[in-house]
Amino acid sequence: MTELEAGRAQTLVPARSGAALQRYRDVLIALIAFAVLASLPLFTGSKALLDFVIRCSAYGLFATSLNLLVGYTGLTSFGHGMFFGLGAYSFGLIMQKLGVPIPVAFVATLAITAVVAAIIGAICVRLKEIYFAFVTLAFQMLIHSTILSWASFTGGDQGLRGGIPRPVFLGIDLSDHVHLYVTSCALLILGLLAMHQIAQSPFGYTLRMIRDNAARASFLGIDVWRAKLTVFVLAALFASMGGMVMALFVSGAYPEFAYWTISGEGIFINMLGGVSTFLGPMVGTVLLLLLNDTVTRFTEYHGIVLGVVILFFALGLRKGLLDFVADWLAQRRDAGEGR
Amino acid sequence: MTQTTSGLIIGMLLFLVAVGLTLIFGVLKVVNFSHGAFYMFGAYFAMTTYQLTESFALAMLAGAAGTAILGLVFERVFMSRVYGADVLMQLLVCYAFVLIFDDVVRIIWGPEFKAMGMPAAFQVMPLFIAGGVVPPYYLLLIGVALVAAIVLGLGLSRSRIGKVIRAAAHNPGMVSALGINTGLIYGGVFALGGMLAGLAGALAAPVRSLTPGMGFSVLIESFIVTVIGGMGSILGALIGALLLGLIRSFGSQGFPLFVEGLMYLFMVIVLVSKPTGLFGKEAA
């Protein structure tokens, strides 16, 4: 067991009667979180703050979905960003070319993502560790170069320009900044809630078992390949959701959304926040975006600063921030019980 | 013929970078994600030395020696701390250095494109071989890479040091117990890998433009090479690099915009049919 895994082992399966209770509690927390986020525009007129939350929603969905693979299943995908880019591009293209209502484009994009992820996943998930990382990276770059070279359809290196039309649907007007803000908060909360349900479900515990000992899981009658493929597709769906939020926010899609650096940032966010807790990636997202915004304000060489921070986390703390907090709490509790 | 030679030189440069990558992976079991930075530094070191001394030989030497030292320091100070840690952790340390090194180059040499210029000694008439145009510099490049391949191949399989390195790759604990300083071997292998990448950068400096991000595209391509050839295999790196070089130069004729896509497609096809690569050993 590596250091990272050691911290995760302590999570216990909740008792069956507790499961329903847990679900109500999750929904309640989600509702409160949404209420707090959604009421933010009432208190502040700061467009920058709302923009920040929208970006956090996009990256948060993406990073948390990556954690389903990295943290829960032990699949280190280095190409998860392809689904972020795919979501942004499919959504933008559908809206531009077909002019359908937004929810239709949303569902259609999810369907496209599911099909693509199923095909790529079917090829990738049987590979081990580093090879899995490389092949996902290769697929990411394949999609990226397809976007670049299919210029007549995707706009090539200029990106999808001309804006994404946002017809009003049921009174929700996404060209209005506050409406867009509330919608992305809702998507974030819904996405997180759904992912948490997946993580806490029996299927989620199957994934943990595969991560810790795939051979054993296989002996117990679990179809490892199918479970891995399922989580690969599920994670892709949420990453694609993040991409759609991003496309709505910038009203376009750019090749960088599908570039490998998005995947690199996703991994980094996960490390920053910690992979042993569900909300770790969310914390990491906020940290990274804050860091990026502050650093770019002071220096044009933000690579150096970011690099040093990464080194501090990787070599100094050796775990994410939330892992650190969780361990510290656990230690304190143990010390308290010992007496 | 012109296509073939241009494919060959792309392949040879890639081989020099990829063989270092594969060597480091084979011995240290670490994927050096910052390997492209050594290529980049090699090119910049060579350019500066050439501008200062006007000597091509010194420029090559500076590129290779500078990156060897860099590799040694990088391995001893940073990478040696994350051996045995999660793969993610190693990738992150390297990722951090990709960011840092790119900015360091930007600070020292500036963000704009630079050119070293072809040394006067090679500014002669190109040769015409089998109906194709071949600049003499290309021959030197191919020659150097071939010599490096042969020396490495023979050195690892025949010499005593080569045997120790292979032993350390196989069972570092045992090698250490026999009184051999494995830390020194690890550092040495990393320095060697860095040196080869630096040499490739220095050799590429007269024919390519230099920019702070130049290491990354090379890194991705040399990854493809090592993965196609099989991680840890020198022969695999050679074959993979040549295949990729040829795909690049011929692909740019047929599908100018989808060259990169072709390479990734090729990698996917190889990996799906043989996950360990063409010359990779089954799960070590």
Q: Positive or negative, the Cα torsion across B208, B209, B211, B213?
A: negative
DSSP A72: I
Helix axes A260-273, A129-149, angle to 10 degrees: 140
The whole-number pLDDT of residue A211 equals 84
Query: To the nearest 10°, the Cα dihedral for B270, A216, A73, A204?
Result: 140
Q: Cβ of B93 and A134 within 8 Å? A: no
Which string of b and e fits A179-214 if b means at least 16 CB within 10 Å? bbbbbbbebbbebbbebbebbbeeebebbbbbbeeb
> In this predicted structure, what is the pLDDT of residue A220?
84
Least confident of A22-26, A120-124, B127-131: B127-131
Model pLDDT for residues A228-250, shown as the tens digit of each residue: 899 999 999 999 999 999 888 88
Minimal Cβ distance to B264: which of A123, A138, A314: A138
B114: helix, coil or strand? strand
Q: What confidence score (pLDDT) does residue B127 get?
A: 66
Question: For position A240, what pLDDT does the model report?
Answer: 93
Return the structure tokens found at A154: 């995707």
Asked if B86 reaches chain A (Cβ–Cβ under 8 Å), the answer is yes
For residue B128, give the 3-state DSSP assignment.
Answer: strand
B211-232 pLDDT, tens digit each? 887 887 788 888 888 888 887 7
Distance CA A77, CA A243 (A): 17
Q: B54 near B238, Cβ under 8 Å?
A: no
CB contact under 8 A, B86 and A3: yes
Cα distance from B118 to chain A (closest Cα, Å)? 31
Is A1 a residue whose pLDDT tops 60? no
Residue whose structure tokens are 């000694």:
B121
* Cα–chain center distance at A154: 24
Pair B267, B227: CB distance under 8 Å: yes
As for the ipTM of the complex, it is 0.72
Mean pLDDT of chain B: 81
**CB atoms B271 and A142 under 8 Å:** no
What pTM was estimated for this model as a whole? 0.78
Q: What is the pLDDT of residue B132?
A: 66
pLDDT of residue A7: 47
CA quadruple B26, A259, A308, A249: dihedral, nearest 10: -160
Does the pLDDT at position B284 exceed 70?
no
Give the whole-angstrom CA distance, residue A54 versus residue A240.
15
Between A317 and A114, name the one with better pLDDT.
A114
For residue A272, give the nearest of A318, A303, A331, A239 by alpha carbon. Answer: A318
Residue A184 Cα to chain centre, angstroms: 14
Kindly tell me if the per-residue pLDDT of A268 is higher than 60: yes
For A292-320, the pLDDT digits (tens) are 788 777 777 777 887 888 788 777 766 66
Take residue A133 and report the two structure tokens written for it.
Answer: 């990382």
Token pair of A228 as six digits: 């891995």
Q: Which member of B93, B261, B276 has the closest CB to residue A149?
A: B261
Mutate to test the interface with B, among A301, A308, A323 (most CBs of B within 10 A): A301
Residues A143-173 as b/e (b if ≥16 CB within 10 A, e otherwise) read bbbbbbbeeeebbeeebbeeebebeeeeeee
CB A98 within 8 A of CB A160: no
User: Rounded to an integer, what distance in angstroms lies between the CA atom of residue B117 and that of residue B221?
Assistant: 24
Confidence of residue B283 (pLDDT cuts 50, 70, 90): very low
Overall average pLDDT of the B175-197 stretch: 86
Q: State whether A301 and B85 contact (CB < 8 Å).
A: no
Q: C-alpha angle with apex A197: A193 to A202, nearest 5 degrees?
A: 170
Size of interface A-B (CB pairs under 8 A): 119
Q: Are A147 and A154 in contact (CB under 8 A)?
A: yes
CB contact under 8 A, A271 and B107: no
